[in-house]
Amino acid sequence: MTEIAEITLNDREKIKEFVERSSFVTYKMLADRFNISKSSMSRIMSGKDTSAKANGIIDAIITMYEL
Protein backbone atom coordinates (compact mmCIF):
# COMPACT_ATOMS: atom_id res chain seq x y z
CA MET A 1 0.00 0.00 0.00
CA THR A 2 1.27 3.46 -0.91
CA GLU A 3 1.98 5.68 2.07
CA ILE A 4 0.21 9.01 2.59
CA ALA A 5 3.51 10.94 2.38
CA GLU A 6 4.22 9.45 -1.05
CA ILE A 7 0.72 10.30 -2.27
CA THR A 8 0.95 13.93 -1.16
CA LEU A 9 4.44 14.18 -2.68
CA ASN A 10 3.04 12.97 -6.01
CA ASP A 11 0.14 15.41 -5.68
CA ARG A 12 2.54 18.30 -5.00
CA GLU A 13 4.40 17.39 -8.19
CA LYS A 14 1.13 17.36 -10.17
CA ILE A 15 0.29 20.83 -8.84
CA LYS A 16 3.77 22.17 -9.64
CA GLU A 17 3.52 20.90 -13.22
CA PHE A 18 0.01 22.34 -13.56
CA VAL A 19 1.08 25.80 -12.33
CA GLU A 20 4.15 25.80 -14.59
CA ARG A 21 1.99 25.00 -17.64
CA SER A 22 -0.87 27.29 -16.70
CA SER A 23 -1.21 30.79 -18.07
CA PHE A 24 -3.78 31.74 -15.44
CA VAL A 25 -2.99 29.90 -12.16
CA THR A 26 -0.19 31.16 -9.91
CA TYR A 27 0.96 30.21 -6.43
CA LYS A 28 -0.09 33.69 -5.26
CA MET A 29 -3.60 33.08 -6.59
CA LEU A 30 -3.76 29.71 -4.85
CA ALA A 31 -2.49 31.25 -1.60
CA ASP A 32 -5.17 33.94 -1.80
CA ARG A 33 -7.83 31.31 -2.51
CA PHE A 34 -6.96 29.48 0.71
CA ASN A 35 -6.37 32.67 2.70
CA ILE A 36 -2.71 31.93 3.41
CA SER A 37 0.48 33.82 2.60
CA LYS A 38 2.51 33.10 -0.50
CA SER A 39 5.36 31.93 1.75
CA SER A 40 3.00 29.45 3.46
CA MET A 41 1.99 28.15 0.03
CA SER A 42 5.68 27.82 -0.83
CA ARG A 43 6.33 25.78 2.34
CA ILE A 44 3.37 23.53 1.50
CA MET A 45 4.51 23.02 -2.08
CA SER A 46 8.11 22.29 -1.06
CA GLY A 47 6.96 19.69 1.45
CA LYS A 48 8.31 21.61 4.45
CA ASP A 49 4.75 21.98 5.78
CA THR A 50 3.08 18.58 5.94
CA SER A 51 0.44 19.43 8.52
CA ALA A 52 -3.14 18.24 8.23
CA LYS A 53 -4.12 21.72 7.00
CA ALA A 54 -1.37 21.64 4.35
CA ASN A 55 -2.46 18.21 3.15
CA GLY A 56 -6.07 19.43 3.04
CA ILE A 57 -5.02 22.33 0.81
CA ILE A 58 -3.13 19.94 -1.50
CA ASP A 59 -6.20 17.69 -1.69
CA ALA A 60 -8.48 20.67 -2.38
CA ILE A 61 -6.28 21.92 -5.23
CA ILE A 62 -6.13 18.45 -6.79
CA THR A 63 -9.93 18.22 -6.59
CA MET A 64 -10.58 21.79 -7.72
CA TYR A 65 -8.51 21.45 -10.90
CA GLU A 66 -9.20 17.73 -11.43
CA LEU A 67 -5.49 16.88 -11.49
Q: Is the pLDDT of residue 1 over 70?
A: no
pLDDT, average across residues 26-52: 95
pTM: 0.87
Please state, rounded to an integer, the average pLDDT across all residues of the chain: 92
Q: Is the pLDDT of residue 62 over 90?
A: yes
Identity at 58, one-letter amino acid code: I
CA distances from residue 2 to 19, 22, 31, 38, 52 in whole angstroms, order as listed: 25, 29, 28, 30, 18
- Cβ–Cβ contacts within 10 Å for residue 49, how many? 17
Q: Is the pLDDT of residue 13 over 90?
A: yes
CA–CA separation, 30 vs 61, rounded Å?
A: 8
E-strand ranges in 1-67 read none
Share of the chain above pLDDT 90, in %: 85
pLDDT, average across residues 26-53: 95
